[in-house]
Structure 1
Amino acid sequence: MVFTKKKIWFSGVALFIFVYSLNFMGYSDYFPLLLLPLLGILLIRSKLSKWFLTTQAILLAFLICYSLMALYYGYSSYFAILGRIIYPSMFMLIGYYVASVDTPKNLKSFSILIIMITGSTLYGMLSLIKTINLYGSYENVMSALGGRLIEDLWGNSYISATVLNSSVSLGLSLLGLLFIKNNNLDSNKKMLKLAILAIFLASIYTSATLGNRTGIVIVIVSFCTVFSLNLNFNVKDMLRIITFIISFYILKLLFFNLNIFGVKTYWENSFISSRFENSEVYHDPRYDAWRTIISNFNENLFGGRKIDLDVNFAHNLWLDVFYDAGIIPLILLVIFTITSLISLFKLLKLELPNIYKGLVIGLYTAFFLTFAVEPILQGFTVYFTFFCFLIGIIQRKLISTTTRDC
């Protein structure tokens, strides 16, 4: 095998993405600093499109404006502000670079997204397993710690279930890929599908154990959006759908209704089952927080958390930005959001393998559903950084693949 400069660079980037997504040794806040020299090289050598530069400018304007307001109100430290400004923009550029050295079959960018999802999923699952091994069960964890907390994989500090749920949400979006034909992407189709299945199962185990109701929504909605890529049905496709539906109901009858292997008993005694039964969806504290902020919008135009909420955050990316920093960062974030959606719609029109489009649209679904219900920039900025990395890949894909740089 001949190792060219591009292969060496790509391998290094892939390793970095995995280490960063795994939060290796708890140093994810510091690893990107090692890439600052690389950032300068990429800026010099990469041919950046106007669309990318425009999106990057909007992102930077939002991050700077939001960070300065958060610093003014004392919501963040200087180091956190620095990372919040630099890292998302840096990862967007790295994503752009990854797509610029992609293979004609799009294997490199597809692989590195799977690597990112794998690292993030492993971090969540292994942190959960470590904590359960220490306490015996997740119920014991909640009883001992007084809430839905998990001991970090790499240390003795505790992280919220919200962070763990966000960490595995990307893996939950992969179910639909198992039903898409893998054409023109990878010759080893069986190994790819097995890897995707393993990541999904690890994610669903973690999410269910933590009682994550949003995770169930991500699985269902992402599956539907990914499967919608195969809307040009023929008889064979229709038979596959009918077979899947019939198989699902047969398995439900055997394993749940008839309680084979104790599946029904396990579900009824599980934490996530109790969360569905003991909570009223329309009276979720998050929804109350949304209504309160929207109905008192004018009281918080310059941020500062002027509106009294029953919870610490609004649990919504856009409303939390407004709650913290006011209307100007919110407008910039909305523009960036619209730009990212336009990029997605443009990508879906390209001649790319359906499994590639399925991965992207599934990730978008996971990102936006999690953005809608969690305080991302207040609790898990890494997640927003992952999103910017994906945006960078997409925006490079929008350029003709006949032109390659770096």
Structure 2
Amino acid sequence: MIQTKVRDNSIFSINTILILWLALWSVNFMGQGTNIVMFGGIILIIIFLFKGRSISFSFLIIFYIIFLFGALYSIFLNYYFDYDILRGYRELFIPITLFTIGFLSMDKKKSVMYNAKLIKNFFITISFFLFLYAILNLISHLNLFGEVLIYERKIYDIWSKELVEATAQGSRLTLITSMLIPWILYRQSFSKVSGICIISCALISIISTLIMGNRSLLMILGITLSITFILYLKQNNNDIKRTVQFLIILFIVAVLCIILFVYDIFGVKTFYESSSLYMRMEKSSGSWFEDPRVKAWIMAFVGLYFNPMGGSKTQLELSIPHNLWLDIAYTTGVIPFTLIVIITLFYIFLIIRLFRTDELPESFKIFVCAISIALLLNLMIEPILSGHYVLFMIFMFQLGLIQGLVNKIKSENSG
């Protein structure tokens, strides 16, 4: 009995350290988020290995592909742009560090449900502190400058004391907002405190999006809601009763929103029409295919045929395609592009494996699907490796977590 308690306390302390590490990284503490990931991550890996956490052959396969991607991407990047060789540590070591920590944090001695709850707690921690960082930046900016300029959408950064792109702040609000969807579908799986926190943070995030003039969060929320609801119906075998209940709730919410807006209750309409987003939408015109970002995607993809080794030689209307996979193709060519596509396919395959397993509650599956869809959508529309690197780090960390959980499930089924 004494040994069991000691082991539980030891594991608890490791998870506490891990959550603290996630919080400091997500809030970019003192502007040192990348260094916290790198050097704190190495310490965590040593602790996990010292505690006897093991790796698998499937882990080594993905580890090698991530390492190969980081090495080749760094080599091409340094060749084309003559970066300092030390800069390569970010692309080379941080992805494999995050992937390894995610995998090792799944404890094979504990139950599947224990590990699933860990993943949920990890993502709530990451999402909340990303949100906190973005909101503190926005509050500081409004306190100093009074508004966000529509022609120069930059936000004050509390750590660097400089103005940074508003989109970089908006992307930090995506995950906490996407959690609103699993909360709506499976409220009973969240504590009251978590539920209140998610609702409050999501509403504040939407208001902040209007202030900053960002469209991405609203688009991502809408698409994530649609896809997640389809998965929810599949879970429940297209249960008519559940479908009708959900649609009624959506209809009531929509009607309330329309009434609040039309009659300007609580100044909702006035606030929206004075926001940066409204002014930006008013000035935008043309079809979706005329959007500069979509044009950049098409040109970058076609340009890969003419410039297979990258080098940023394809002529674009933007400085970069604003898409993780196409950015990599555009700058470093077809080889790193192929590797990141393989890594992404592993990620999607593992998410599908989780969704189809019987060992996990349906609420957890929807939780993972919602944050994964939101994350992938965000990776599709922003310059990830050159401005939104935190999203790529989360992507690598989640890949390790999900593979660790899938391996745990496999080991239990085979045992």
TM-score (norm 2): 0.89
Provide the residue aligned with 1:381 in structure 2.
Answer: 389
Which of 119, 127, 137 pairs up with 1:109? 119
Alignment of 1:230-379 (within 5 A): 230-231=232-233, 232=236, 234=239, 236-280=241-285, 281-350=288-357, 351-379=359-387
Cα distance in structure 2, aligned partners of 1:402 and 1:337: 21
The CA deviation at 1:230 is 2.9
- CA deviations on 1:311-338 (whole Å, 9 max, x unpaired) are 2111111111011101111111111111
Alignment of 1:185-264 (within 5 A): 189-231=191-233, 232=236, 234=239, 236-264=241-269
The CA deviation at 1:204 is 1.9
Consecutive unaligned residues in structure 1, runs of 5 or more? none
Matched, 1:400 2:408: yes
The answer to which structure has the higher helix fraction is 2
Consecutive unaligned residues in structure 2, runs of 5 or more? none
Cα distance in structure 2, aligned partners of 1:401 and 1:270: 48
2:94 maps to a residue whose letter is Y
8 Å Cα contact 1:65-1:329 kept in structure 2: yes
- CA deviations on 1:235-286 (whole Å, 9 max, x unpaired) are 6524422431331233033201222222122222221122223213332211
8 Å Cα contact 1:94-1:392 kept in structure 2: yes
The CA deviation at 1:341 is 0.7
1:220 maps to a residue whose letter is G
8 Å Cα contact 1:21-1:116 kept in structure 2: yes
8 Å Cα contact 1:170-1:363 kept in structure 2: yes
8 Å Cα contact 1:172-1:218 kept in structure 2: no
Cα distance in structure 2, aligned partners of 1:227 and 1:392: 26
The CA deviation at 1:147 is 1.1
8 Å Cα contact 2:95-2:393 kept in structure 1: yes
The CA deviation at 1:182 is 5.0
Cα distance in structure 1, aligned partners of 2:222 and 2:298: 26
1:385 maps to a residue whose letter is M
8 Å Cα contact 1:229-1:354 kept in structure 2: no
Provide the residue aligned with 1:127 in structure 2.
Answer: 137
Corresponding residue pairs, total: 396
Q: Flag the 1:262–1:296 CA change in 2: closer, same or farther, 3 A.
A: same
Cα distance in structure 2, aligned partners of 1:190 and 1:16: 25
Q: Flag the 1:199–1:262 CA change in 2: closer, same or farther, 3 A.
A: closer
8 Å Cα contact 2:73-2:91 kept in structure 1: no
Cα distance in structure 2, aligned partners of 1:335 and 1:65: 14
- CA deviations on 1:27-81 (whole Å, 9 max, x unpaired) are 1121121332432454573222332222221111111111110011126433331
- CA deviations on 1:137-182 (whole Å, 9 max, x unpaired) are 223xx5xxx6111111223122112211221121221121222225
Cα distance in structure 2, aligned partners of 1:241 and 1:34: 43
The CA deviation at 1:385 is 0.8
Q: Among the aligned pairs, what percent are the same residue?
A: 28
The CA deviation at 1:402 is 8.8
Greater Cα shift, 240-249 or 91-100: 240-249
1:337 maps to a residue whose letter is T
Q: Flag the 1:76–1:376 CA change in 2: closer, same or farther, 3 A.
A: farther
Q: Flag the 1:37–1:261 CA change in 2: closer, same or farther, 3 A.
A: closer
* Partner SS state of residue 29, structure 1: helix
1:158 maps to a residue whose letter is L
8 Å Cα contact 1:175-1:219 kept in structure 2: no
Cα distance in structure 2, aligned partners of 1:359 and 1:153: 31
* Partner SS state of residue 317, structure 2: coil
Provide the residue aligned with 2:180 in structure 1.
Answer: 175
8 Å Cα contact 1:176-1:223 kept in structure 2: yes
* Partner SS state of residue 159, structure 1: strand
8 Å Cα contact 1:302-1:325 kept in structure 2: yes
Q: Flag the 1:285–1:126 CA change in 2: closer, same or farther, 3 A.
A: same
8 Å Cα contact 1:299-1:306 kept in structure 2: no
Greater Cα shift, 327-336 or 167-176: 167-176
2:133 maps to a residue whose letter is Y
